[in-house]
Amino acid sequence: MRRLSILILAAVLSAAAWANEVAVAPVVDASALPPLGEVWRETNPYRGLPEALAVGQSAYNQACARCHGADAATRAAPAPDLRNLDRGCRRIVGSELKARCMADNDAYFAKTVRRGKTIVGVVHMPPWDGVLPQEVAWAIQVFFEARAREGR
């Protein structure tokens, strides 16, 4: 009997943990951004586009902040600080090499966001493919990169 209740408890707890890791689409108006269609770009097409910032900030705070930290402004979050994602590229001086580094970084960003992160069967981050349109994903990246450059 005791073993059964432990089993039930474990099932309930793991279901709760799982429920926590479901990707929920943020409610955000991305109509100010040029539409990109279904096929994901290899690199972020919105870098330098001011309209992407507000869209990205809102979507980030709705969809990513609970794990990656409020407003991309804290190091205390359980998940990695996304402001560090392109840190290696920022240090590069040559423009061609820097562009290649950023392209690589963008491919990693898109791949990770779309697939999520499952490590030895444990969902660390749910997959966002089919939940987050690429317009919103790229806008989120523009937002946290801006945070990194503000040094916040």
Give the interface with ligand HEC as residue ranges (CB under 6 A): 21, 63-64, 66-68, 79-80, 82, 85, 109, 112-113, 117, 119, 124-125, 128, 132, 140
Q: What are phi and psi of 101, to 5 degrees?
A: -60, -45
Quick one: 30 or 82, whose CB is closer to ligand HEC?
82
Dihedral sign (CA 28, 34, 40, 44): negative
Tokens 């990693």 locate to 108
CB of 28 to ligand HEC, least distance (A): 11
Quick one: 55 or 125, whose CB is closer to ligand HEC?
125
Q: Whole-angstrom Cα distance, residue 106 to residue 42?
A: 7
C-beta separation of 54 from 71 below 8 A: no
CB of 4 to ligand HEC, least distance (A): 30
Q: Whole-angstrom Cα distance, residue 60 to residue 133?
A: 13
CB of 109 to ligand HEC, least distance (A): 5
CB of 25 to ligand HEC, least distance (A): 9
